[in-house]
Amino acid sequence: MTGGQTARVAAGGRVDRSRPLSFTWEKRSYTGYAGDTLASALMANGITLVGRSFKYHRPRGIIAAGVEESNALVQLGQGARSTPSMRATEVLLYDGLVAKPVNCFPNSRFDVGGINNLVARFLPAGFYYKTFMWPDWHLYEGIIRRAAGLGKVATDVDPDRYESRYAHCDVLVVGGGPAGLAAADAASAAGARVILAEQDFSLGGALLYDEIVIDGENGDAWATRVGEHIAGRHDAKLLLRTTVLGYHDHNSLTMVQQLGNEMACAADPTRARYRTWQVRAARVVLATGAIERPLVFPGNDRPGIMLASAVRHYARRFAALAGRRGLVFTNNDSAYRTAFPLADSGVTIAAVVDVRETVASDLANALSQRGIRSIAGGAVIDTRGRNRLSGAQVRTSHGQEWIACDHLAMSGGFNPTTHLFSQSGGTTRYAEDIAAFVPDHSVQNECSVGAAAGAFSTHAAVQSGTTAGAAAAMAIGFAPASDAKPVVANERAEASLMPCWSIDAGRSKAFVDFQNDVSVTDIALSARESFRSVEHLKRYTTLGMAVDQGKTSNVNALAILGALTGRSVQETGHTRYRYPFTPVPLGAMAARNRGELFRPRRHMPAHDDHVSAGAVFEDYGGWMRPAYYPRSGESPHDAEQREARTVRRTAGLFEGSPLGKIEVTGPDAGRFLDLVYANTMSTLKRGKVRYGLMLNELGVVIDDGVTTRLGDDHFLICTSSGGAERIAAWMEEWLQCEWLDLDVLVAPVTSAWGVLTITGPQARHIVHETGTTVPLDDFPHMSFAEGTIAGLPTRMFRVSYSGETSYEINVPATSTSALWTKLMEVGAGHGLTPVGIDAWMVLRTEKGYLHIGVDTDGTTNALDVGWSHVLKKGNDFIGKRSLMRAEDQRADRLQFVGFASPAGAPPLPIGGHATAPDTTGTRHSEGYVTSSAFSPTLKHPVALGMLRGGFARMGETVRIEGGGTTHTATVVSPTFYDAAGERLRG
């Protein structure tokens, strides 16, 4: 043993003892070595208790050595760089590392949540579906939400950098064990472009801890040599610490590569912490290995009980011992490969318990030579120990006995890691000889090799890997470089295992899922309550959820469920593994798509002028637009009311540059617009403007706006701000997919033009004094003219969204700021004020104008908003047929109306429901409020909304409920202000 590392073997392992590393675990300082993982360093320091389980908060120790680790989940790092639920087995130790276990308070040794274990009998599978219904769910909700989750996500902004890359290759090999190395070597030697992705920081897989000789050299040396050959080839790329997260359609795979730790990234801000890869491969070789199954027996979750291969892994690769007196429990030969090297290194092996009645003679002799007791036909039926295993009760042919031990190495066989294969769409079959699911039918250009295909020997791994790599290269057109295959010299052929799904004895719980505390009794309860589908079992018991995703529990659970329901494992089936294979930081998924790069904020052409005017900005459809322009001491409401009032009295200036602008040209432009609009546009005269609605195939309103005829074959359509890109793409789709015979060009020009709208009684005077060549005396409402204003070229429109005389002035986007300055300068003497979105919404609500997406939803058709006249249109248009359906013409549909409140009443709550009693007296919704505001012009609230059968209910008083309050309102026409339209025509 070395220094404070009480469980570290004095020599051996693949750690660099010349480079000690300090780390902190639960606020205590420890030392490990370069080449350690956090898990191996904890084990070397004699730390067995590493966390608590999710549901019962039972003590948990390290159980595995790789991605299958379900217990040792840690909170890694501090502050903004803290990362939750990291597997200690995958964290490469570095100097200054700080970590603590998740799901325990205040620490793992004393966890307040451990009280759950005392009341476990009241918390069986699915208990939350049967409780918390009285007296009120909200009484329990807060407690449950606080208890949910494992680690905690940092609330500060993540300071780390992340990258993403796209790559194409001929052959992608997933896994750098013997099979993957052989496949990548064969494919790259043939000249194929190869990417080899390995999740570990070293190549070799099981060769890192098993005594295997390949081509006359130690397995780990062979792995190093082959890896160097691959990396040295021009068209090959070797990626360590890279996990393939998902296998998608068309041989597209997602990978995440860890590039640095938190300390390195903090020291060098330019260094990326993770890189996400999107890879498209012509051929994929899955060499993902296999995961050892635990055995299910009473008390099998105590700290110190581990997978046999993991015990061997830590001892040989990291020179870290799981304990000093071990017990081995197995149903197959592989666990003996753990017992022998441990005994040779000085660990006392109390016994090897094998459920099989007969043990191979060579194994029995090897045990005898080392003085290890062999218990054939036996089973562990219980364990004891609080925070660490202290003994196991074993059933032998002579009865039962307790055997003292501080760790137990168990092996229930191996499951091929078929997660990625399943994600690719491949189907699996149950192989009786290994008692596991193996790949069966592939649907993509993929091949599984080695242990991933159910071939667990190293000989089979390198043989199948070489064959698959060469075949993948040949399929693309490359000739194999050689027919030679690696030769494995000293491998013993192992006998078949005896399936052992659970040991039914003892008083302790037998756990199947260690992370989520799912036991055999939970599965039995699920079966009794008819949750017999594997999907139902998973969700009812939480089996295989969260970080683990059933890596160690899946097959055991399926076999137990099958036995309980009288089905074979094949008949029971399994869930389809979901993406991602292991948890991935959100930053890695986002890569550089964060902040402005994730969702760029678009600034209007006159943005700086709005800033100078004191605007408060909000995001409207990706555009930063002024919500209001507060003066000293004004609240947002006060500013909104003042701006709206000023528009009615004098004039306001509003920038509408984000409004969609699409030019439609060509001989068939008019015919095309007749099809995409519910009303006719081809009859529009040159220089005139017409309002229109766009519908989808169901007759649902999807956008509105005005269309202007600029020339005989030239139209300009204006959409809502949110519909600018969407409507342009929608129109292109119709032209390219349905109406190929139409000679039409659609050109989005939204960003080319800046739009300033000057509106109000003084608008005409201000435009005139600014200086324009547009003949204002002969410029009626709903018309268009071209000319200049303030010396700038302009397209000017007489359209109004406020209900006042308005001039919508379009100028080249780069001239918008200059025009804003000029208009504000001229308008100063006329009481001109800038107007924000909030006041704009008040003005349009007073006028009763429809706001698509606010006053409508995905069920609102043209008839619901009063456009019944469109059915008289002779020619066809998108959605017309749907509007002719009886369902779309029902008189009791939700229809667009206004709601007038009594004098002195507060504004109606947006989203408030109009309710009425049914025949039983229970109140039900008959509609809802969509827009609401206090009208500074009318001095009372105004509101718009949808009401069932609203057109026939004018004058009716309805009850509006919302926000915990009840109001009354009268159903009226949506137009509250200037119903005759005299002011906007002035």
Distance CA 745, CA 714 (A): 10
Backbone phi, psi, residue 379, to 5°: -160, 145
Distance CA 66, CA 29 (A): 24
Look up residue 436 and give its amino acid: A
Backbone phi, psi, residue 79, to 5°: 60, -140
Beta bridge partners of 940: 935
pLDDT score of 719 more than 90: yes
Can 161-290+416-476 and 295-411 be said to share one CATH topology?
A: yes
Residue-wise pLDDT for 665-680, tens only, equals 999 999 999 999 999 9
Residue-wise pLDDT for 392-450, tens only, equals 999 998 899 999 999 999 999 999 999 999 999 999 999 999 999 999 999 999 999 99
Distance CA 886, CA 488 (A): 77
Distance CA 691, CA 679 (A): 9
Residue-wise pLDDT for 785-811, tens only, equals 999 999 999 999 999 999 999 999 999
Look up tokens 């920038």; give the residue. Answer: 655
Q: For 247-271, what is the mean pLDDT?
A: 93
What is the 3-class SS of 467-533, one letter each residue?
HHHHHHHHHHCCCCCCCCCCCECCCCCCCCCCCCCCCCCCCCCEEEECCCCEEHHHHHHHHHCCCCC
Distance CA 746, CA 664 (A): 5
Q: For 464-474, what is the mean pLDDT?
A: 96
Could you tell me if residue 169 is left (phi over 0), alpha (psi between -120 and 50 degrees) or otherwise beta?
beta
Distance CA 54, CA 111 (A): 12
SS3 604: coil
pLDDT score of 1 more than 60: no
Cβ proximity of 918 and 737 under 8 Å: no
Look up residue 446 and give its amino acid: E
Cβ proximity of 547 and 73 under 8 Å: yes
Look up residue 900 and give its amino acid: A
Classify burial at 980, counting beta carbons within 10 Å of its beta carbon; exposed 0-12, middle 13-18, buried 19 or more.
Answer: exposed
What six digits make up the tokens of 563?
């036995």
Domain 501-599 fold is: Arc Repressor Mutant, subunit A (1.10.10)
User: Using DSSP, how many helices (H) and how many strands (E) does the chain show?
Assistant: 25, 50
Distance CA 748, CA 658 (A): 12
End-to-end CA distance of the chain: 96
Distance CA 138, CA 904 (A): 35
Predicted local distance difference test score (pLDDT) of residue 112: 85
Predicted local distance difference test score (pLDDT) of residue 430: 95
Q: For 135-159, what is the mean pLDDT?
A: 80
Which of the four pLDDT bands, split at 50, 70 and 90, describes residue 2?
low
SS3 815: helix
Q: Domain 890-986 classified CATH 2.40.30.110? A: yes
Residue-wise pLDDT for 730-753, tens only, equals 999 999 999 999 999 999 999 999
pLDDT score of 588 more than 60: yes
Q: Domain 161-290+416-476 classified CATH 3.50.50.60? A: yes
Q: Where are the chain's structural domains?
A: 16-131, 161-290+416-476, 295-411, 501-599, 660-750, 890-986
Q: What is the DSSP letter of 920?
A: T
User: For residue 717, which of 686, 743, 749 has the smallest C-alpha distance?
Assistant: 749
Greatest Cα pair distance, the chain, in angstroms, is 114
Helices 554-565, 534-541: axis angle to 10 degrees equals: 110
Distance CA 404, CA 716 (A): 87
Residue-wise pLDDT for 293-348, tens only, equals 999 999 999 999 999 999 999 999 999 999 999 999 999 999 999 999 999 989 99
What six digits make up the tokens of 504?
């039914």
Within 10 angstroms of residue 196's Cβ, the number of other Cβ atoms is 30
| E strand spans, 414-459 | 414-416, 427-431, 436-441, 446-448
Q: Decide which of 599 and 406 is more confident.
A: 406
- Angle (CA) 247-248-254 rounded to 5° is 55
Which of the four pLDDT bands, split at 50, 70 and 90, describes residue 553?
very high
SS3 835: coil
As its CATH architecture, domain 660-750 has 2-Layer Sandwich (3.30)
What six digits make up the tokens of 229?
């050959």
Q: Please provide the average confidence, as pLDDT, over all residues in the chain.
A: 94
Within 10 angstroms of residue 649's Cβ, the number of other Cβ atoms is 16
Q: Decide which of 986 and 580 is more confident.
A: 580
Cβ proximity of 315 and 337 under 8 Å: no
Q: For 635-650, what is the mean pLDDT?
A: 98
SS3 779: coil
Which of the four pLDDT bands, split at 50, 70 and 90, describes residue 117?
confident
Predicted local distance difference test score (pLDDT) of residue 875: 87
User: Which run of H or E residues covers position 652?
Assistant: strand 651-655
SS3 899: strand
16-131 maps to which CATH number?
A: 3.10.20.440
Look up tokens 């209910």; give the residue. Answer: 953
**CATH classification of 295-411, choosing from 3.50.50.60, 1.20.1440.130, 3.30.420.40, 3.40.1380.20?**
3.50.50.60
Which of the four pLDDT bands, split at 50, 70 and 90, describes residue 506?
low
Predicted local distance difference test score (pLDDT) of residue 802: 96
Within 10 angstroms of residue 96's Cβ, the number of other Cβ atoms is 14
pLDDT score of 599 more than 90: no
Classify burial at 184, counting beta carbons within 10 Å of its beta carbon; exposed 0-12, middle 13-18, buried 19 or more.
Answer: buried
Look up residue 311 and give its amino acid: V
- Angle (CA) 622-657-639 rounded to 5° is 80
Q: What residue spans of 246-307 are helical by DSSP H? A: 262-267
